[in-house]
Amino acid sequence: MNGLRATLARIATTDKRAEAAARARQAVLTKPAGSLGDLEELSIRIAGIQGRADPCVDPGVIFVMAGDHGVCAEGVSAYPSDVTAEMVINFTRGGAAINVLGRQAGARVVVADVGVAYDFEASLPIYHKKIAGGTRNMAVERAMTREEAVRSLEAGIEVFEAEMAASSFGISATGDMGIGNTTASTAMASAFLGLSVRALVGRGTGIGDEALDRKIGVIEKALALHRPDPADPIGVLSMVGGYEIGALSGVILASAAHHVPVLIDGYISGAAALIAKALSPLSADYMIGAHLSGDSGHGLMLENLGLKPLLRLGMRLGEGTGAALAMILCSSACRLLNEMATFESAGVSVKQ
Amino acid sequence: MNGLRATLARIATTDKRAEAAARARQAVLTKPAGSLGDLEELSIRIAGIQGRADPCVDPGVIFVMAGDHGVCAEGVSAYPSDVTAEMVINFTRGGAAINVLGRQAGARVVVADVGVAYDFEASLPIYHKKIAGGTRNMAVERAMTREEAVRSLEAGIEVFEAEMAASSFGISATGDMGIGNTTASTAMASAFLGLSVRALVGRGTGIGDEALDRKIGVIEKALALHRPDPADPIGVLSMVGGYEIGALSGVILASAAHHVPVLIDGYISGAAALIAKALSPLSADYMIGAHLSGDSGHGLMLENLGLKPLLRLGMRLGEGTGAALAMILCSSACRLLNEMATFESAGVSVKQ
């Protein structure tokens, strides 16, 4: 637990002086005050996170964590578990949505196996951090042990720090791949938010009415069986979570520890952020809400996290796709702050 | 009126076959159906507009049309009219917000003077298409003659076609610069939507309560004086419009005539789109709503145009800044359609 403990200890408040300097610069750029809307506040937040008045997020890194879910045995997903491994291979070949958007954003897409039910070739260009070949079925037993939950968090921290050591970056983004992980995320959100499963559940990759009822029943059964305590986030993760979700929580905590803004993608990343915030309330100051997912219940998670999403495009793919688009907007916000002329430098008249 | 008449005659329906082909491809890409949300429908619309199943919007061109407004004599704006010319010069030096976002989007920023109250050097790298040095004060007389209104539309068409002849592009965007032009736009929107000035008016570049009341009074006075008829869009433009607004309508109509998708920026561009739609209802099929402006009343304009905005960031700067960001999303939509692997090519299992 050393890696996790050290990371939590390192998370500090953001830099108010850098924020104030960025805010002062926004006021003298050649535009009416406030006319860049949410991009102005975004640039100021990133300045505070990075501790510099001229923040820069380029390049970014998108961390896609992959794992399988034993609860798929209950028939909660529209796709077979095999798809998790097949998509990991698709990621390495550049054919997935996140590869396309990562290329557009000029970001590195980093993939890690933390719990996929498939033995990848050791030569596959991913981080090999498998904790187990999928979680156990939460409807009948704990998804993982407490020790495995901690290991999943530390796997995320390790991947983040290895990537940072390889080459620096200015922003991180969370992405997930794991058939069945909206089921785990809904159970986690219900535990943290104290809301009913029905208020939070969605159709994931696109299940019908019958499967949706089954999914709700399975999650309710798991919650009744384990009674997860929101004051014990490691307990929640181990009872009803997923390895890739824990690893994403680790990525978020490591981002906060290293003063890197972290874009929270969609529904699964939201569940990971709930764990991170429960372990370190300060970590929420480093999070940026990427988008409002098409999955119902996501808005309630964002509200609990205190995040306002940058995009509302009805996306519900995961992989970090919403975060990749939002990363481009974060870059816009920083570029505007850094590159725009001031009223004085451009010789433009000020407000009457 | 030849340029306008020829342009209107050239506007045809979008290509339903290309749309169907793009829709079919979306269904076999490695993602759950519909999980890319609005980006899927966006790619299909662009396919229909361009008449190809593999649409491409790169590079784009942002058309920033500039003009001054005689109605500024009534004290309706927070900034002096001088700022219009000063900002045109700022555009040519690369220091304005639209320059920063244009660079990020990989788009050309094209500026035209169609009615600025300043004599620019002939060597300034802009399109010199001045119709007059600002409109007349709509509160006491027609803003321009009918002939000048037509010339402003044709100026936009000419700039579009000159730019296309210089180098091809895949998408266009509207941008405005003109102190006082939210006053003109509100008057135009009130005429077309049949709604009260108070329901549509905003604070523009940031006027206080007293100036807002004055602005409302001035617009109401102009509307009572001219009684613009929404069935006569050239009449509306000439009575209460602006040269840069007419030129933007021309850019929109030329885009439709040349099968180029056109991003409608904010409040002023919305007024230009109302003119374009009134002159050619088919032109609306070529418009893409870039963003919902922070200016109140803009949502009502978009509703009337049948456009759903891609972004809601509370921006209210104009210049095409919201459209530049939305251009990046249009590129995302096309790249995803063209570059993603299919279930078959990637060997990924399909839905159960």
Choose among A283, A286, A290, A300: nearest CA to A269: A290
If DSSP codes are grouped into helix, strand and coil, which group holds residue B289?
Answer: strand
Closest residue in chain B to residue A314, using alpha carbons only: B37
* Same domain membership, residue B104 and residue B7: no
CA B254 to chain centre: 12
CA A55 to chain centre: 21
Nearest-neighbour CA in chain A from B230: distance (Å) = 30
Is B76 touching A (CB cutoff 8 A)?
no
Is A281 touching B (CB cutoff 8 A)?
no
Closest residue in chain B to residue A293, using alpha carbons only: B37
Is B56 touching A (CB cutoff 8 A)?
no
Residue A85 covered by a domain: yes
* Same domain membership, residue A41 and residue A145: no
Is B343 touching A (CB cutoff 8 A)?
no
Residue B352 covered by a domain: no
Residue A351 covered by a domain: no
* Same domain membership, residue B21 and residue B81: no
Report the C-alpha gap between A97 and B30 in whole angstroms: 8
Report the C-alpha gap between B184 and A122 in whole angstroms: 66
DSSP B341: P
* Same domain membership, residue A136 and residue A73: yes
Closest residue in chain B to residue A324, using alpha carbons only: B332
* Same domain membership, residue A31 and residue A114: no
Nearest-neighbour CA in chain A from B326: distance (Å) = 10
Q: Which tens digit of pLDDT belongs to each residue from B12-71?
A: 999 999 999 999 999 999 999 999 999 999 999 999 999 999 999 999 999 999 999 999
Q: Which residues contact B27 (CB under 8 A, 6 or more apart)?
A: B33
pLDDT tens for chain A, 352 residues: list them: 569 999 999 999 999 999 999 999 999 999 999 999 999 999 999 999 999 999 999 999 999 999 999 999 999 999 999 999 999 999 999 999 999 999 999 999 999 999 999 999 999 999 999 999 999 999 999 999 999 999 999 999 999 999 999 999 999 999 999 999 999 999 999 999 999 999 999 988 889 999 999 999 999 999 999 999 999 999 999 999 999 999 999 999 999 999 999 999 999 999 999 999 999 999 999 999 999 998 889 999 999 999 999 999 999 999 999 999 999 999 999 999 999 999 999 999 988 7
Q: What is the pLDDT of residue B286?
A: 98
Q: What is the pLDDT of residue B205?
A: 84
Residues of chain A contacting residue B180, judged by C-beta atoms under 8 Å apart: none
Contact flag A95-B340 (C-beta cutoff 8 Å): yes
Interface ipTM: 0.97
**Can you say whether the dihedral through the CA atoms of A143, A145, A151, A153 is positive or negative?**
positive
Residue B182 covered by a domain: yes
Q: Which residues of chain B carry a pLDDT beneath 50?
A: none
* Same domain membership, residue B73 and residue B45: no
* Same domain membership, residue B219 and residue B98: yes
Q: Which tens digit of pLDDT belongs to each residue from B77-92?
A: 999 999 999 999 999 9
Residues of chain A contacting residue B341, judged by C-beta atoms under 8 Å apart: 90, 93, 95-96
Is A201 touching B (CB cutoff 8 A)?
no
Q: What is the pLDDT of residue A2?
A: 65
Q: What is the pLDDT of residue B267?
A: 97
* Same domain membership, residue A341 and residue A325: no
Q: Which residues contact B165 (CB under 8 A, 6 or more apart)?
A: none
Q: What is the pLDDT of residue A1?
A: 56
Residue B224 belongs to domain spanning: 60-329
Q: What is the pLDDT of residue B2?
A: 65
Residue A133 covered by a domain: yes
Contact flag B89-A321 (C-beta cutoff 8 Å): no
Residue B123 covered by a domain: yes
Contact flag B336-A39 (C-beta cutoff 8 Å): no
Nearest-neighbour CA in chain A from B293: distance (Å) = 9
* Same domain membership, residue A247 and residue A107: yes
Tokens of B309: 């905005």
Residue A352 covered by a domain: no
* Same domain membership, residue B108 and residue B46: no
Contact flag A35-B90 (C-beta cutoff 8 Å): no
Instruction: Give CA separation, A32 vs A15, A82, B77, B96, B111, in Å.
Output: 26, 53, 11, 12, 20
* Same domain membership, residue B272 and residue B156: yes
Is A27 touching B (CB cutoff 8 A)?
no
Is A225 touching B (CB cutoff 8 A)?
no
Nearest-neighbour CA in chain B from A4: distance (Å) = 34
CATH code for the domain of B269: 3.40.50.10210
Q: Which residues contact B21 (CB under 8 A, 6 or more apart)?
A: B47, B53
**Average predicted confidence (pLDDT) for chain B:** 97
User: Model-level pTM?
Assistant: 0.98
Nearest-neighbour CA in chain B from A213: distance (Å) = 17
Cα dihedral A327, A328, A329, A332 in deg (nearest 10)? 130
Report the C-alpha gap between A270 and A268 in whole angstroms: 5
Domain count of the fold of chain A: 2
Pair type for strands B108-115 and B60-67: parallel
Is B208 touching A (CB cutoff 8 A)?
no
Closest residue in chain A to residue B322, using alpha carbons only: A36
If DSSP codes are grouped into helix, strand and coil, which group holds residue A29?
Answer: strand
CATH code for the domain of B10: 1.10.1610.10
Q: Which residues contact B202 (CB under 8 A, 6 or more apart)?
A: B182, B186, B267, B293, B294, B295, B296, B297, B298, B316
* Same domain membership, residue A163 and residue A112: yes
Answer for the pair B293, B271: CB distance below 8 angstroms, yes or no: no
Q: Measured in Å, how far apart are chain A's first and last C-alpha atoms? A: 60
Tokens of A331: 């870059």
Residue B282 covered by a domain: yes
What ranges in A139-205 are assigned the alpha helix state H? 146-166, 181-193, 197-200
If DSSP codes are grouped into helix, strand and coil, which group holds residue B265?
Answer: coil
